[in-house]
Amino acid sequence: MPKRSCLAIVLAAGEGTRMKSALPKVLHKVGGLPLIGHVLNAVDAMGATRVAVVVGASADAVETFVRSRTPHATLHEQRERLGTAHAVLAAKAALAEGTDDVVVLYGDAPMVNAATLTKAREAIAGGADIAVVGFRATDPTGYGRLVLDGRQLTAIVEEKDASAAQRRIDFCNAGIIAFRGEGLLALLTKIGNDNAKREYYLTDVVALAHKAGRKVSAVEAAAHEAAGVNDRLQLSHAEGLFQKAMRETAMEEGVTMVAPSTVWFSYDTKIGRDVTIEPNVFFGPGVTVADNVLIRANSHIEGAAIAKGAVIGPFARLRPGADIGREAHVGNFVEIKNATLGEGAKANHLSYIGDAEIGAKTNIGAGTITANYDGFDKYRTVVGEGASIGSNTVLVAPVKIGDGANVAAGSVITRDVPADALAVARGRQEDKPGWARKFRERKQAEKAAKKAARKP
Ligand code: UD1
Ligand code: CA
């Protein structure tokens, strides 16, 4: 197939009233990414040459997100919300530039699959003027019904305008329509608003095209791809569908999960082969996990890179900028932020390591804390290779510990420690022989005397 140019128009002017939120609907997240981000990903994967996003009045936050995510997208404002055809026409300037294909899709349907968009475009390349993506709904209520005459799609009838017989149709409009670019603008401007909602329906384009003798076809997609988000319940359903898909892909790619339904991924989580993930693990955005890593139960991981063979958790917290080296170990109640743990280094118990660099094979004892913040600025801690930091040490940054150095347990380190040195920075122990016994005997004698005095 020769490469055809394609304009994707994403409709996102809806108010999202039912979300009951100060945040515009399309910015609510599924898998850590705004709904419209998922749609833009699919649009990219389909190979759109141009992207136009239709936004409502005062949708600054949506504009900001789209500009950063897809800098080449054009933004079009639909001031009044007069229907989906009216919304598409808000992007008239983009349409007028002329592309081989035009694909219209909704910003609040995050499960859309690039393969389906491609299938619809293939129908156009194969001679259709319009290709509507349909799906078989278990409950078609609220969706536009696809009216077929043999294999020809003759109309889409919206629920409110449908006859009783049409309402029984279970083949529904997913909300994704591909068009031959040529002649589309003329067709769109013919759409009226003589219907139950007094809206300009994009779906009316089908009957108009059919009557004009154009070829309109339907391509079928899986029902979950049509899942739209109008309220928080549907948002949670979309999240569920997304997580299910992510878990299945991970397992197909060689990840073992003991309890897949308790593991939560982000849209960009990357996991290698022969990785085992125990129950109740959460991945926020920006995580990369290499091969042969073991992530033990109840760990919370975001913005982190984990190298081959590392062991994380149980109960570990990796925050943005955590860079865990090969075969390194991060154990229970250890928090790592903006810090590198070298190859084979270990921080196994109860630590905070922030703004730090820990060398290969270094052992961080239980309870070690990097004091990285003075209330105004953050400072770095650098620990060399093969060092041993004793339990309950405070490393007051900025500070450097040399290669092979030992820090005695309970130290508060405020100055650099040379390589191979032992640093002890705590009160010196003093023993007073017999002191405890004498103290105990005196107390016991006092108690006995009091008791005797109380007796009549
Ligand atoms: C629409 C379709 C229906 C399909 C269903 C799939 C029409 C007329 N109907 O119905 O056939 O089965 O989606 O979910 O298209 N929007 C604007 N500006 C407007 C109106 C809508 O930007 O003036 C945007 C909305 O933000 C939303 C999308 O277009 O993202 C769909 O609009 P909505 O009113 O939700 O259409 P439905 O009634 O769900
Ligand atoms: Ca809708």
Summarised one tens digit per residue, pLDDT across range 366-379 is 999 999 999 999 99
* 78, 56 Cβ separation under 8 angstroms: yes
Ligand 1 atom closest to 56 (CA): 22
pLDDT, mean over the chain: 96
Ligand 1 atom closest to 143 (CA): 12
The reported pTM is: 0.91
**Looking at the DSSP assignment, which residues form a beta bridge with residue 180?**
101
Query: Residue 411 — very low, low, confident or very high, per pLDDT cuts 50/70/90?
Result: very high
**Looking at the DSSP assignment, which residues form a beta bridge with residue 55?**
12, 77
CA of 226 to the centre of ligand 2 (A): 10
Q: Coil, strand or helix: which one is 85?
A: helix
| Confidence check: pLDDT of 1 > 70 | no
| Confidence check: pLDDT of 305 > 70 | yes
Mean of the pLDDT values across residues 329-346? 98
Q: Is the dihedral of CA 60, 198, 233, 9 positive or negative?
A: negative
pLDDT over 90 percentage in the chain: 96
Q: Which two tokens stand for residue 439?
A: 């103290």
Residue nearest to atom 8 of ligand 1 (CA): 201
CA of 84 to the centre of ligand 1 (A): 6
pLDDT over 70 percentage in the chain: 100
Q: Which two tokens stand for residue 323?
A: 């860079």
pLDDT digits (tens, 9 = 90+) for 122-139: 999 999 999 999 999 999
Q: Coil, strand or helix: which one is 117?
A: helix
CA of 174 to the centre of ligand 2 (A): 10
Q: Give the largest CA-CA distance in the chain.
A: 119
b/e burial code for range 364-382 (CB count within 10 A of at least 16 → b): bbbbbbbbbeeeeeebbbb
Tell me, what DSSP letter sits at residue 143? S
Which pLDDT score, from 0 to 100, does residue 253 have? 97
Q: Which two tokens stand for residue 255?
A: 């990840």
| Ligand 1, pocket residues at CB < 6 Å | 11-14, 54, 78, 81-84, 86-87, 106-108, 143-144, 156, 158, 172-173, 175, 201-203, 228
Mean of the pLDDT values across residues 325-334? 98
pLDDT digits (tens, 9 = 90+) for 250-294: 999 999 999 999 999 999 999 999 999 999 999 999 999 999 999
Chain position carrying tokens 């930091």? 389
Which pLDDT score, from 0 to 100, does residue 59 have? 84
Which pLDDT score, from 0 to 100, does residue 347 have? 98
| Confidence check: pLDDT of 456 > 80 | no
Pocket test residue of 84, 153, 188 for ligand 1, highest count of atoms within 8 A of CB: 84
pLDDT digits (tens, 9 = 90+) for 168-179: 999 999 999 999
Which pLDDT score, from 0 to 100, does residue 382 have? 98
CA angle 448, 450, 452 (to 5 degrees): 70
Residue nearest to atom 3 of ligand 1 (CA): 144
b/e burial code for range 124-136 (CB count within 10 A of at least 16 → b): bbeebbbbbbbbe
* 84, 41 Cβ separation under 8 angstroms: no
Query: Residue 2 — very low, low, confident or very high, per pLDDT cuts 50/70/90?
Result: low
Cα–Cα distance measured from residue 341 to residue 330, given in angstroms and rounded to the nearest whole number:
9
- Residues serving a catalytic function are 349
Q: What Cα–Cα distance (Å) separates residue 19 from each residue in 63, 238, 305? A: 19, 14, 34
φ, ψ of residue 9 to 5 degrees: the values are -115, 120
